[in-house]
Amino acid sequence: MSDSTQTDRENERTSTESGYNANRRRVLQGIGAIGVGSAAIGTAQAAQSTRARTSAYGSTPAAQSSEAIETSAQFWSFTEADLSTAELIRECADAGYDAVEPFMIDDADEIADALDETDVHMGSAHVGLEELEEDFDGTIETYSQFGSPALVEPMVADGTWSDEDSVIEFAERCNEMADRVADEGLEFGYHNHDHEFQQIGDTTAYDIFAENINDNVHLQLDAGWVLVGGEDPIDYVIEYSDNVQSIHMKNMTASGDFVEVDEGHVNMRAVATAARNAADVDYLVYEYDQAPNPLESIKIGAEWMSKLNHPYSPGGVCGIEGAEEHPAKL
């Protein structure tokens, strides 16, 4: 390939990516918070989606629910703080979160003490499917002492999502584990990244997965990674509302950069509105992958989770003391 041809192709790719990113921003920023029904329709029209998604909400905007969703924080966000899990629990309690989501158990006794001494609880935890398969009884015993957290597989490698048979096989493993965990009074689920949204025929690997899991499999939808995967997170909250039990409120740019919750290309207000009105979500989980200023981000995340939980009011700003503007204006 000549240098000029290579340059032309790179310019074409850059132009295409720029157009995609701009379109994605317009789509997400154009979704209003006045109702999930109209949001879903606006998204489909703006994106000219090739998937024929339907919603029970039709063309009438859904009524705003005033019920708040519990807020949580994924501890992967705060690895740069070099604090123990118990110390992070106390930091999150002070910041105002309702729950926490650790990814490791470093000292079970200290964690139990921190949970007992604060107002937060362990709503969920990132636990590998293989860990459960290899030591089911031990893993269940470990996490049961912290209440009834949902046990969520944080990531399964790209190869699983390359063809329909592999995806369905993985879905069946999740179904089996969800049944076993349910017998112990817990839930099992899966957290997505972006590679699950690769195309398989005329659909995505994630769609195949979501359509082959049982009702008791907990989908933890990561809003930022859905965007980077080329899809609309609001669309997925609505489409798989029966299984979406928690949402990682992770903001990212369309090109895959990690940013603070109020800085990326995901319309977090619309995600929270969809969670409240179209699904039965247990937790909005703050995440900012390895935040460079973790102790500051703990507080920023708690503040914004609280703001996003406040129902939208077209007549004025949200009723949160000290709020300078309505969080819909991201």
pLDDT in tens, 180-207: 999 999 999 999 999 999 999 999 999 9
Please give the pLDDT value at position 284: 97
Element (H, E) at 187: strand 187-191
pLDDT-derived band at 145, boundaries 50, 70, 90: very high
pTM across the whole model: 0.79
pLDDT-derived band at 67, boundaries 50, 70, 90: confident
Q: State whether CATH 3.20.20.150 applies to domain 67-308.
A: yes
pLDDT-derived band at 307, boundaries 50, 70, 90: confident
Backbone angles phi, psi at 89, to 5 degrees: -60, -45
Write the DSSP string, 234-265: HHHHHHTTTTEEEEEE--B-TTS-B--TTTSS
- Residue pointed to by tokens 């362990």: 122
Helix/strand/coil for 74: strand
pLDDT in tens, 21-65: 433 333 333 333 333 333 333 333 333 333 433 333 333 334 455
Do 211 and 173 contact (CB within 8 A), yes or no? no
Mean local confidence (pLDDT), 117-130:
97
Element (H, E) at 205: helix 205-210
Do 307 and 284 contact (CB within 8 A), yes or no? no
Please give the pLDDT value at position 312: 56
* Paired tokens of 250: 């992770």
Q: What's the rounded Cα separation, in Å, for the pair 248 and 258?
A: 13
Please give the pLDDT value at position 3: 46
Please give the pLDDT value at position 22: 37
Q: For residue 250, is pLDDT > 90? A: yes
Please give the pLDDT value at position 313: 52
